[in-house]
Amino acid sequence: MTAFFALTTSLLWGLADFGGGLLTRRFPALTVVVVSQAIAATVLGAIVVATGGWSEAGPRLWFAFAAGLAGPVALLCFYKALALGPMGVVSPLATLSVAVPVGVGLVLGERPGLLQGTGIAVAVTGVVLAGGPQLRGAAVQRQAILLTLVAAMGFGTVFALIAEASTTVTGLFLALFVQRLTSVAAGGTALAVSVRRGGRAVPDGGLPWASLPALAFVGLADVAANGTYSVAAQHGPVTVAAVLASLYPVVTALAARGFLSERLRAIQAAGAGLALLGTLLLATG
């Protein structure tokens, strides 16, 4: 059961990332985040009402609230990085989010073993190589790498917080609802400020209603992935769940290759692979 739900998580996250990256090439990243998360929040609200999830309310929801504040920042940076591309490099680098739990452990007095130390070294090397020649004289690509690293730290923070937000299935629905509601409020505020400063919330032709199904898929796939990951972690070793769920960049990269025909330079492909390998070593350590 753990393997099934963890692999489902990687599939959902990978497809959500691919869809979010494509949508950000047509719409402002904040708009994609706010609309997709609002749709997910609406669906989650209905589930909470139907399951009586309000009975699970308690102090743990503060973790969900904090995750809701960190989430929009991570998604915004990540979608912008995916829009700059190439997705085959950006997505694997985002798996460095696992460094956050490792960092928390160090603060609490834990010391990484040989496997974890090797994973850190491999992952950092992967980050450097994934930028490759594009890090020199290509401001856009430097920006993509920086945005991805910020997103990775944000994702890691969200994962650590949401894991503490609930202990039951109904409580998980409530925690995810609070997280998404907070994300919509924070993202909506940022979008309003951007519009007041002259930014655009939608393209010149307005928001194409035909894009709503795609926006809904991105939001629902993202929240479903959080749910399936929690279930996987609750029914088996967290390390196994983390390793299998961290394969989501492979899904994004394959989607980018299949639908966008992206081609990576050899050094970039090697760097992306090392970043993913380092993440797996960190998770299994």
Is 205's pLDDT higher than 70?
Answer: no
Which residue in 242, 93, 78, 247 sits closest to 160, CA to CA? 242
Per-residue model confidence (pLDDT) at position 139: 45
What sign does the dihedral 24-199-201-224 (CA atoms) show?
positive
CA distance 131 to 80: 16
Q: Which residue has the higher pLDDT, 45 or 76?
A: 45
Residue 102 token pair:
């490792």
Spatial contact of 123 and 274, defined as CB atoms under 8 Å apart: yes
Is 266's pLDDT higher than 70?
Answer: yes
Q: pLDDT exceeding 70 applies to what percent of the chain?
A: 79
What sign does the dihedral 138-259-253-10 (CA atoms) show?
positive
Read off the pLDDT of each residue in 198-224 and give the average, rounded to a whole number.
Answer: 82
Q: Exposed, middle or buried, 150 (CB in 10 Å: 0-12/13-18/19+)?
A: middle
CA distance 68 to 63: 9
Is 217's pLDDT higher than 80?
Answer: yes
Per-residue model confidence (pLDDT) at position 264: 65
Is 193's pLDDT higher than 50?
Answer: yes
Confidence of residue 112 (pLDDT cuts 50, 70, 90): low
Instruction: Give alpha helix (H) positions in the chain.
Output: 2-24, 29-51, 61-84, 87-93, 99-107, 114-131, 139-162, 169-196, 212-234, 238-245, 248-260, 266-284
Is 12's pLDDT higher than 50?
Answer: yes
Which residue in 71, 17, 20, 41 sits closest to 211, CA to CA? 20
CA distance 116 to 121: 9
- What is the tens place of the pLDDT at every residue in 130-189? 655 444 444 446 788 888 889 888 888 887 787 778 778 788 899 999 999 999 999 889
CA distance 18 to 217: 11
pTM (whole model) above 0.85: no
Contacts of 89 (CB under 8 A, 6+ apart): 130, 131, 144, 264, 268, 271, 272
- What is the tens place of the pLDDT at every residue in 32-71? 888 998 999 999 999 999 988 787 788 888 999 998 999 8
My answer on whether omega of the bond before 86 falls inside 30° of 0, hence cis, is yes
Three-point CA angle 183, 184, 186, nearest 5°: 65
Residue identified by tokens 């995810």 is 176
CA distance 123 to 192: 37
Per-residue model confidence (pLDDT) at position 162: 78
CA distance 272 to 27: 27
CA distance 179 to 3: 26
Three-point CA angle 100, 272, 130, nearest 5°: 95
